[in-house]
A and B are shown apart, each in its own frame.
Chain A
């Protein structure tokens, strides 16, 4: 028996009342060795920064494992102290989100392939009736053979690659238009 799923509705313009956490941006605690910051803006169809968005990320630990019972390899407590795997950041501070993290490991695929290190990303905002989902890959990782990237035209795949910056990486999300980020149906 399949129940009627509850439909999505927009997060609206006032998400800051209920959703930000003081430690939201921290996949790992400040000062974690090897940690860096991913920052970026959410841009609308006219290139204007979206100031009322929220970005969430989810990722494997540096060994490519999850502290989750549905990982068929078993749930593993990460070697990095305080590793949460999850981050949440609004863009209210000048339109930029901010995630403090460490590199995830590569992952096995069901078909025996290898998924390059990546973060899953959800973007919520007024004007988005459902979240949009994308991925962050890293320009300085070996992304060859990743089935998701290689199935995309090169210019589209490029929208999923975070670029190195002074304190980590930058990753802008373009919601709409010629340079539109790839969004996934998960």
Chain B
């Protein structure tokens, strides 16, 4: 019996122990990870479908009686695997701060206003070609306690499943030309320049809706299975 193999990403993800991000100090494992040979539990995964998503879930500006304050934006893109194959019908969940940089959460109590018309959570499934689209407002930059005068670059949290347990990903989408990016230890924890660039969305004039909303494109690449070995049709 044989099954797909998901090649391990080398140098893609941040090291768990990243001292500049202080919360890693007591939470990052201290022992080396143990290599796990992928079995059936790893090459399968939850295929969560449309029963988890309502059509309105992808518009974060229409979840209350009024419109949220802020710059209305469209965030869209394609989910692919590392061989460029689209990942269709996969669940994407997003959450974010409001335009003032405040989260609707008990732990966030810095003195910026909550917006009664903004919760900051959305969901959708990618379509048959792996594309997704959210309407939301641009989140604000906010301070955090990591170091003196620390501010998180504006970001939207993304959670994706992909096809298998191995392809599960939680990440953050950033905005181009944010002056906080190069100062941010979480963004900077990504080891390679190409990896960091992959987390920054691109302004998309073609998808920008005249007199309505700016568009940003964020493509996401998940771990994929290695190509199936070629089977010789003459080999019987």
Interface on A for B, CB 8 Å cutoff?
A: 1-19, 21, 44-46, 48, 50, 52, 56, 58-60, 66-68, 70-73, 84-86, 107-110, 115, 118-120, 122, 124-133, 147-148, 151-152, 175-177, 180-186
Contacts and interface: CB of A to CB of B under 8 A. Distances in A.
B27 A128 contact: yes
A77 to B, nearest CB: 12
Contacts of A9: 14, 157, 170-172, 186-187, 189-190, 199
B207 interface: no
B114 interface: no
Contacts of A182: 31, 34
A126 B23 contact: yes
Contact of A177 (B18, B30, B120): B30
Interface string B207-221: 000000000000011
B65 interface: no
Contacts of A108: 1, 40
Interface range for B: 35 or more
B62 interface: no
A66 B44 contact: yes
B74 interface: no
Contacts, number: 236
Interface in B144-172: 157, 159, 163-166, 168-172
Contacts of B3: 70-72, 110
A72 B13 CA distance: 30
Given A17-B121, A19-B159, A118-B41, A8 B169 contact: yes
B38 interface: yes
Nearest to B15: A129
B27 A50 contact: yes
Given A19-B95, A59-B41, A183-B29, 12 more contacts: A8-B170, A9-B190, A10-B21, A16-B105, A17-B105, A18-B159, A70-B3, A70-B4, A127-B28, A129-B189, A180-B30, A186-B8
A84 B24 CA distance: 32
A7 B186 CA distance: 11
Nearest to A184: B36
10 contacts: A7-B199, A10-B23, A13-B105, A18-B94, A19-B93, A50-B27, A59-B41, A107-B40, A180-B29, A186-B166
B26 A176 contact: yes
B38 A58 contact: no
A7 B28 contact: no
Contacts of A11: 157, 159, 170
B36 A185 contact: yes
Contact of B46 (A46, A84, A147, A185): A84
A8 B14 contact: yes
A66 B34 contact: no
A108 B187 CA distance: 40
The 7 closest A-B pairs by CB, nearest first: A18-B95, A127-B23, A127-B27, A86-B46, A68-B44, A184-B36, A129-B14
Nearest to B80: A3
Given A4-B221, A110-B39, A184-B35, A176 B30 contact: yes
B84 A3 contact: yes
B81 to A, nearest CB: 8
Given A18-B157, A185-B36, A129 B42 contact: no
B2 to A, nearest CB: 6
A115 to B, nearest CB: 6
A46 B26 contact: yes
